[in-house]
Amino acid sequence: MAKINIDNQDAITYQTEELGFTILGGIRLDGLDRMRVTLKVEVLNRKFQHYLDHPDIANLAIRQNLDLYNHHQVEKLSRLIADRLEIGSSPVVQALGEITDQLEGYRLQQIEARKQEQVKPLKVLTEAEQGQAMQFLQQPDLLERTNEIISKSGMVGEELNRLIMYLIFTSRKTIHPLHVISFGSSGTGKSHLQEKIGDLMPDEDKIEITALTENAFYYFDKGELGHKLILIEDLDGIWSALYPLRELQSKQRISKTVTIKDRNGNTKTIHLKVHGPVSIAGCTTHESLYEDNANRCFLLYLDESIEQDERIMDYQRKLSAGKVNSAVEQQARYLLQNVQRILKPVTVRNPYAELLKIPKEVFKQRRTNAHYLAFIEVITFYKQYQRDIQIDEATGERYITTTIDDIREANELMKGILLRKSDELSGATRHYFEQLKVCLKSSGDRTFTNSNIRTMMRIPLSTVKRHHAALLQVGYIRQVESRYTKAYHYEVLSYEEYQQLQQRIITVLDEVTEGLNGSITAHQISEPDKRKKKKQLA
C-alpha cells in the first residue's frame, strides 16, 4: 500500500502505479466533519510507455475541488478521471479511499501536535532550586528584598510601581486575583515596566496578547485561563473586547450563546463557557479609561520625572558600553520565577479585617475596599513560608493568617493607589497641575495664560487647553479679567489642595495601623481559632 508524502505540507502527494495525486494547499485542521481539498490527478507516463502514443492524455492533469467525505462528489470525480484518462474506475476509487484514510490519520496527528505545542511544559525544579527559592521566601523584610531582586533583574526606577505590579501578578494564584492598568504618555516605559515584571513570572503561567477581537476570549478552552496572567501590551488593541474583559475580571467566568450548523445542515445552539480566575494587566496612553473597566483595576501612573529619565538613559548608556552584567539579570529573573513556582494555593484569613477601613475621600468605596483587603491577602499569601498552616477542624480548611506587619506594608504601598482613587483629576491632568504650580511659584506669577504656560512648560497648546478645561470644570482654577489684554487669564485657587488630600489619606491609614496593636480580643480575632490546629507548611 502506497503512503502519502507529507514532506511538503502544502503539496501532499500520493502515487499508485498508474496515477499521481497531489493535494494542493494541504488540508485544513478545523472542521473534522468535512475534508475539503483541491486535488490534482495526472498519469505517471514515465512508467507506462503505451501512453506515449497518446500525448494529449499523458500530459493532461485534472484539478478539482471536492469534499472527500462527500460520496457523490468522490464518485463523480472517479468517473471523470476514468473517462478523461482512459483507465479503469476501480483503481481510482481505491486510491481516493486510501488517500482519505491516510489524510484522516495525518490530520488527527497534526491536531494533537498543535495542542501539545500550545501547552507550555511545566518546569520541574531541582532540589537546589527549590531550596534556594524557599530560603528566599523565608527571609525577613521579604518585600524589600524582593524589590532589590527586581532591580537586579534589569528594572530601572519605578520602585513603588514595580513592587505593586509584582504583587498583583502574584495574586493570579489566589482565589480573587487583582488587575492593573499602567498609564503614561508615549515613550514613558509602560510596556517596558509590564514586560520586565512579566518576565519574573513563569512562562507557563502567562499569556501575552498584542491585539484581541471582541469574541476571542470566548474561544479559549474552558479551563485554559484558570489562574493565568494575561498581559495586554496596549489596551487600544482590544477596545472591542473590553466588555468580556471586565466580566471575566468581576465574575471570573464568561459565557456566550451562538448558533452553528451541524453536518446535516440543521441549526443548533451551543454555549461557550470560559472560566478564570485570571489576573489582567494592560497599558494605555489615554489619560483615562472607561470607568467600568478602570474601577476594577489598580491604576499605576508612570514616573515621568527628569530624574527617572536620567536613570533610564544612564542604564541605556551602560548597556551600550557592555557594562551591564546580563548573567546577573538573568539569574535574578530565574530566582523570582522559581519563587513563583513554589507558591502553593492556600486560603488567607485576615483576623483584623473588621477593624480596617479606607478613607472616606476614596471614590467607589465598595470596590476599592475589596481591592484593599485583597491586596493585604496577597502580601500574606506571598509570605506563606513564614507562617504556620492552620486547619479549621469544623471545615477542614487549611489557611494562614494575616499579621499587623502585612497590613502596615500594604498601607505603605496603597497610599498612592488610594490617593489616585480619591482624586477628581485624571493622572495626566494631576501631573500637569502639579507642574503648573511649581512653575508659577518659581516665576512668582499669580495669573497665567494658555500661551504663557505652553512656553514655560514646552507642551502643545492643545494639551494646555484640554487640561485647563478639566481644571475649570472641577473648580481648581478660575478665569480672571485682565486690564491689558483680551486673552483668557487664569488663577489657581489652592496650591495645597493635593497635599491636604494626601495627608488625609495617610492619616487614616496610619491611624488604622496604630489602632490594631492591642485592640484585638480573643473573641474579635475569630471564634474558629479556639478549635484550630497548627501545621507546618509541607
The percent of the chain in helix, strand and coil, each rounded to the nearest 5, is 50, 15, 30
pLDDT at residue 211, as a whole number? 76
* C-alpha span between 298 and 163 (Å, rounded): 13
Note the pLDDT of residue 46. Answer: 46
d(CA 340, CA 382): 9
Name the β-bridge partners of 19.
43
**Helical H runs in 475-496?**
none
Would you give the distance in Å from CA 396 to the centre of its chain? 34
Parallel, antiparallel or unpaired: strands 180-183 and 278-284:
parallel
Cα torsion 125, 131, 133, 137: sign: positive
Superfamily of domain 128-343: P-loop containing nucleotide triphosphate hydrolases (3.40.50.300)
**Cβ contacts of residue 450 below 8 Å, gap of 6+?**
461, 464, 465, 468, 487, 488
In contact, 9 and 26? CB cutoff 8 Å:
yes
> What pLDDT does residue 55 have?
55
Rounded CA gap, 286 and 179, in Å? Answer: 18
In the prediction, which pLDDT does 29 show? 84
pLDDT digits (tens, 9 = 90+) for 245-275: 878 887 888 888 888 776 666 788 888 888 8
**Cis peptide upstream of residue 277 (ω within 30 degrees of 0):** yes
Beta strand spans in 78-219 (E)? 180-183, 206-209
Q: What is the pLDDT of residues 406-446, one digit of tens each?
A: 999 999 999 988 888 888 888 888 888 988 998 888 888 88
Which residue type does 242 have? L
Cell of 348: 488567607
Tell me the β-bridge partners of 24. Answer: 11, 38
Listed in sequence order, the residues at least 6 apart from 311 whose beta carbon sits closer than 8 Å to its beta carbon are 156, 157
- Which amino acid, one-letter code, is at 395? T
| DSSP strand pairing (398-401 vs 298-301) | unpaired
- Structure letter (DSSP) for residue 126: P
User: Is this structure's pTM higher than 0.85?
Assistant: no
Each residue's pLDDT tens digit in the chain (538 positions)? 678 888 888 899 998 888 889 999 888 887 787 889 999 988 875 444 455 455 555 457 888 899 999 989 999 988 888 887 777 788 888 889 999 999 989 998 888 887 776 666 778 889 999 999 999 999 999 999 999 999 999 888 888 999 999 999 999 999 889 999 888 877 778 888 999 999 999 998 998 888 777 778 787 877 788 889 989 888 877 777 777 787 888 788 888 888 877 666 678 888 888 887 889 898 888 777 777 777 788 888 888 888 888 888 999 999 899 898 889 999 999 999 999 999 999 999 999 998 898 888 888 888 889 999 999 999 999 999 999 999 988 888 899 999 999 999 999 999 988 888 888 888 888 888 988 998 888 888 888 888 888 888 888 888 889 999 999 998 999 988 766 666 788 899 988 998 999 899 999 888 888 888 766 543 344 444 444 444 444 4
Residue 245: name the closest of 293, 285, 207, 182 by CA.
Answer: 293
Between CA 121 and CA 95 the distance in angstroms is 40
Give the sign of the dihedral formed by CA 399, CA 179, CA 382, CA 351. Answer: negative
Residue holding cell 480596617? 356
| Domain locations along the chain | 11-118, 128-343, 349-538
What is the third-level CATH fold of 349-538? Arc Repressor Mutant, subunit A (1.10.10)
